Amino acid sequence: MRIRFRRIRFEASKITRATATVFILYHIMFTSVKASFWFLKIGLAAVFLWFGIDKFIHPTYWLNAWVPAGFVQFLAYTSPIFLLDPQQFIFLLGIFETLVGISLLTGVLAKLFSFLAIIFLAVIFFVVPFNEVVVRDFGLIGGLSAILFWPNRRRAL
């Protein structure tokens, strides 16, 4: 990544090295489309990887604390038909969220997984009553929509 800066003369008594560093970071963050895109993807990937991996570590917590009791009963009732018990459902969610995070980091099928994650988060609105999770999901849908509708890299970045 090549960044060109105008030569600016800093007076040693007024501008410190920390101020110059902040200026450079400001320039990279707020004038570089490519850096903005990567910061967005890395932030969203961290969220999806965190929640996806945590579903493998603490599946009963996710099942008891965040999945509504009616949906757990529905999964238990339909488990002979779909061959999927509630804990396996949590593992499938963990696999999906981890794949979304990996896709965002690597850029492989990032738009497809962004679209699937938007649908997944929209379904949560109908399953979970309005709480802090739904508010968080509004923000995630916004970030994923930005990735989904971001111009093609070959032309725009």
* pLDDT number for residue 154: 55
Name the residue range of residue 99's domain: 32-156
The answer to whether position 24 is within a domain reads no
Residue 134 and residue 124: Cα distance in Å, rounded? 7
The answer to whether position 95 is within a domain reads yes
* pLDDT number for residue 90: 84
The more confident residue out of 141 and 37 is: 141
The answer to whether position 41 is within a domain reads yes
Residue 155 has pLDDT above 70, yes or no: no
pTM over 0.75: no
Residue 16 and residue 52: Cα distance in Å, rounded? 43
Give burial (CB, 10 Å; 0-12/13-18/19+) of 144.
buried
Residue 143 and residue 12: Cα distance in Å, rounded? 41
- pLDDT above 70 as % of the chain: 82
The answer to whether position 15 is within a domain reads no
The answer to whether position 21 is within a domain reads no
Continuous segment of H or E residues that includes residue 74: helix 69-82
pLDDT tier, 29 (very low <50, low <70, confident <90, very high otherwise): low
Q: Which two tokens stand for residue 65?
A: 């604390």
* pLDDT number for residue 150: 80
Mean pLDDT estimate for the chain:
78
The answer to whether position 127 is within a domain reads yes
pLDDT tier, 156 (very low <50, low <70, confident <90, very high otherwise): very low
Structural domains counted in the chain: 1
pLDDT tens figures, 73-114: 777 777 677 677 777 888 888 999 999 999 999 988 888 999
